Chains A and B, each alone.
Chain A
């Protein structure tokens, strides 16, 4: 995690678990005393956006940058000028949570100049249980589309194959196979294998990518 470049862009199909990954990632970075900003660039989804967790994240010392219009109920694609702060101020570790499809990724285009080789990482989250990213061909098409819209190259894959709380080790391993195929075809490494903690314990230690256990911060207890 600390080896990743300072600017981390988390992208992928909605439902892949981007926001959950981004929030967990930011929390872990803050846990090792880093100065962290999480930027919610989601202009696509009306619910389950990282800005909803502003209180929780701020308490951990994480700066949350969301819409310039306050209120969780805002459905306007307004992005704050403050987004530039963690991109320009190099004392920040920046985590950008991007809206879940190629249209959502378009908002990244405006920050193109900050995505220089060696300065940023764009991590593409894959959930093989999402219907649009179940095969190598569809996943690569989706990834490419996001690259075109965002004008940035994906530098790493995250296998986050899940079925929420009913995720099994089989789900993760099946997702890993898909990620391997994508990885080989595109020559992009699998950087993380993320899954709920009780499944993470069971994963083979030699799996490609860093095992990244996550908590489900975005789901209320009553949700499956």
Chain B
């Protein structure tokens, strides 16, 4: 199929439908509204359901219900709306149900603003919900990558029976870029023998639940979940490394910010400074392995985020004290500019030798 120009939000909608998503429950919020608008327009045409719930809390619980019945289901929101959904996400993870959750991040805290931000990193990777649970977090940097990961996210969610989050700053939602839709690689997905889609008189009723009365049973359940998360860490971690080996400075950035950083890196290269980039594509699991490529020659690590510094915690865990970790960020909806990043890089590298 030829490439078409799409706005991130509508491309996510189109990708979801191509991936077999038939149900969408949500509540509007800028800067992701084109996505529910797209679903509202397109889902009825394919016999699906779009439902604007009375709140985000209702929407995520509708996702819980639809996922329990074995449907391919998605919800989307932006930062404060995702905060409201955290309880439901914990329940869905606890009940081991597949679904896809999209967060097009805006500035916070509170209502914040509508411009792009990456200040939901903690929320996405640490979980705003309660309990020992984890979920995959994909952080694409282009609209094409958003579409590819979104389509795969539905399969991944079903393979592990776990919610998958796709996170993009507002720019990913609002930006226009050329895209094409490609089938994701096939994954082993077991039949949904657990879903509450009617016994047909052939089996006992399935029950979707996250409540365990017996603490030993709950511990067993949590350990089983933990093993599943370990398997996800092993198999699903993704990142892009660029010139990391022997770089003067290695920059760590994800999403839109990584693109600004690439521009800054190109400027440094023109001046003869060798800069590497680690771009996490999954925020959870965090790509610790990517940091093994860093050699003694590297003077320091620079983490660049559209926040006051959240991913930096994971960078510090990954580098484990081997190198100093520095930070540069803009927040509140401000996007860093390449020149400012170049300046920070030079502070660490000591400039041109």
Give residues in A with beta carbon < 8 Å to B: 14-15, 45-48, 72-73, 75, 127, 129-131, 134, 162-164, 166, 220-224
Q: A164-B178, A222-B260, A223-B175 are in contact. Are A46 and B6 (CB under 8 A)?
A: no
B306 at the interface (CB under 8 A from A): no
In the complex, chain B residues whose CB is within 8 Å of the CB of A221: 263, 338
In the complex, chain A residues whose CB is within 8 Å of the CB of B259: 222-223
In the complex, chain B residues whose CB is within 8 Å of the CB of A127: 5
27 contacts between A and B (CB under 8 A): A15-B5, A15-B176, A45-B174, A46-B31, A46-B174, A47-B31, A47-B115, A47-B174, A47-B175, A48-B174, A48-B175, A72-B115, A72-B333, A73-B107, A73-B333, A127-B5, A129-B178, A130-B5, A131-B6, A163-B3, A164-B176, A164-B177, A220-B260, A221-B263, A222-B259, A223-B259, A224-B177
A15–B176 alpha-carbon span in the complex (Å): 7
B interface secondary structure, majority: mixed
Contact of A166 with B4 in the complex, beta carbons under 8 Å: no
A196–B30 alpha-carbon span in the complex (Å): 30
Nearest A residue (CB) for B7: A15
B66 at the interface (CB under 8 A from A): no
In the complex, chain A residues whose CB is within 8 Å of the CB of B338: 221-222
Contact of B170 with A47 in the complex, beta carbons under 8 Å: yes
Contact of A129 with B4 in the complex, beta carbons under 8 Å: yes
B92 at the interface (CB under 8 A from A): no
In the complex, chain A residues whose CB is within 8 Å of the CB of B177: 164, 224
Nearest A residue (CB) for B142: A224
In the complex, chain A residues whose CB is within 8 Å of the CB of B262: 222
In the complex, chain B residues whose CB is within 8 Å of the CB of A129: 3-5, 178
Interface residues of B in 254-280 (CB under 8 A from A): 259-260, 262-263
B65 at the interface (CB under 8 A from A): no
With both chains docked as a complex, state the minimum distance between the C-beta of A90 and any C-beta of chain B, in angstroms: 36
Contact of A47 among B5, B107, B171, B263 (CB under 8 A): B171
In the complex, chain B residues whose CB is within 8 Å of the CB of A73: 107, 113-115, 333
